[in-house]
Chains A and B, each alone.
Chain A
């Protein structure tokens, strides 16, 4: 054989056989590890609990205007969360991939939907994001790329919705970046939500899942039928009323302070509250005598407190 040909074949073989650098497989079922944010993911946050959120004044004002009855309006009943809910919500992940049938190149990763979140498609084929003026959807538009052994994704074109399930807002100008790390059977995602309208700096959250190939994951999909909005508030429906609280009239502002002794200034959030030095402003804090609600004993089969007296069992 022509030595040139031999060399070319060796060269081609080497180029083809070089593995895709620093990439890992995401496919499979990943079970939720709810070892953080149990109340927020489970029963839900208190009505005015913006602890740790970098809300600016406009975001705080919008949050305080929120009334849960908004969810009963026809245009609110079928609202979804954005992909940021991946790191906020309670469920596991089902991830699969899609390949081009001809070239066998990876086209996209797909993170399956939950009852209140759309499928997240992470396009890996280099396609551009839509025009800035393109319509927004709850799922947004996501692209991904590998940086070393980290999958980095960028999501744009998300609808305005909540960043916490108590009305803390995020605008349709927000963008989200996710960093996906895999360590053996653990999958960690750090998500960064940057919102120039309602945040004074990006909001960063992380969450961990564990590979559970035989698991029958709870994705929340079986708990609701396809959403069909109906008139739940006849008065609101007929009179074009949007449930809300006017400035200074939210009745829940002091609830967290009364329950947990946390100053209202901290409860209302802000970037300053996210950093260790803020604890100097909490020097007068005294913890409540005993936990009385959402105390984390559910898995034990015994109550955390007895008779409402605050005496632990």
Chain B
């Protein structure tokens, strides 16, 4: 009795100590992949139940509904010309990171390596790379998908790095200017995209990513553009259908 009580106490103290250590630092051998509190890998599909008329088809020129644009953004949008974009080889202007996840698409999410999460879209055949920790590729010219730093976020009360509660935070910048919407609503080179990726399961077993996004752009947005998008997990890549960018 005495010994079992003492063993329980020691065990609890050890667990608490390990938990505290887990909060303070990660063991040198841990990797982003090993530490993942949620499972994001696999195939996911956009389920478009919101803003259908602005996502499934290209809205009319001058339709800025739901986006808190500035007057300067309006001037750019009012002069949208997809023919000009095609001639300039810029068909992917509406597939940059701040707009890409709202495009009806399938996602293929894999680990490129232990600290780099790769998110591919079949719509526009784009690839986003989320870098955990200090590892970064050499900085080049701004790109449609920019540079993304990522980290796992765990609730304060979660104990230890092995906890399976949490979400992914991704901050993306160094973006090539593009469109927030296919009809030419612009974002600029200084735009910053902040995303929170959450995973949840429905009563019927369906797995979902809920993606909360904030685009900040002082030049073209009066206030941050905040959205939440949903992706349902698919069994496999049978419906994966890469298509090129389209300006129309």
Contacts and interface: CB of A to CB of B under 8 A. Distances in A.
Interface of A: 4, 7, 10-11, 14, 19-24, 33-39, 51-54, 147-150, 152, 154, 177, 179, 181, 183, 186, 188, 190, 192, 194, 202-208, 210, 260, 262, 266, 273-279, 282, 285, 287-292, 294-297, 299-300, 302, 304-305, 312-313
Contact of A35 (B67, B163, B169, B232): B67
Contact of B56 (A19, A38, A278): A278
A149 B165 contact: yes
Contact of B157 (A20, A150, A210, A297): A20
A276 B200 contact: no
A276 B105 contact: yes
A188 B71 contact: no
Interface in B119-165: 122-123, 153-159, 163-165
Contacts of A210: 226
Chief secondary structure at chain B's binding surface: loop
B45 A186 contact: no
A229 B239 CA distance: 52
A289 B66 CA distance: 19
B225 interface: yes
B6 interface: yes
B65 A190 contact: no
B62 A291 contact: yes
B5 A4 contact: yes
B202 interface: yes
B47 interface: yes
Interface residues of B, number: 77
Contact of B63 (A179, A192, A291): A291
Given A38-B65, A285-B58, 7 more contacts: A14-B16, A19-B156, A37-B51, A183-B167, A194-B204, A274-B49, A297-B69
Contacts of B156: 19
Question: Which 6 residue pairs spanning A and B have beta carbons closest together?
Answer: A148-B165, A206-B228, A296-B64, A291-B63, A296-B65, A276-B104
A19 B230 CA distance: 31
A10 B70 CA distance: 60
A36 B230 contact: no
Contacts of A275: 45-48, 104
Contacts of B157: 19-23
Most chain B Cβ neighbours within 10 Å, of A22, A177, A205? A22
Contacts of A313: 78
B165 A289 contact: no
A190 B202 CA distance: 11
Nearest to B77: A312
A28 B72 CA distance: 35
Chief secondary structure at chain A's binding surface: mixed
A147 B200 contact: yes
Given A52-B52, A204-B208, A300 B69 contact: yes
Nearest to B65: A296
A175 to B, nearest CB: 8
B105 to A, nearest CB: 6
Contact of B49 (A23, A181, A203, A282): A203
A277 B48 CA distance: 11
B8 A11 contact: yes
Given A20-B157, A290-B61, A296-B69, A276 B123 contact: yes
A313 B64 CA distance: 13
B228 A207 contact: yes
A294 B51 CA distance: 13
Contacts of B37: 148
B177 to A, nearest CB: 20
A22 B153 CA distance: 11
A290 B60 contact: yes
B222 A181 contact: no
Given A150-B198, A206-B210, A276 B45 contact: yes
A186 B48 contact: no
B200 A296 contact: no
Contact of A11 (B12, B58, B61, B62): B12
Contacts of A288: 60
A204 B65 CA distance: 21
Contacts of B62: 290-291, 295, 304-305, 312
Contact of A282 (B57, B74, B153, B163): B57
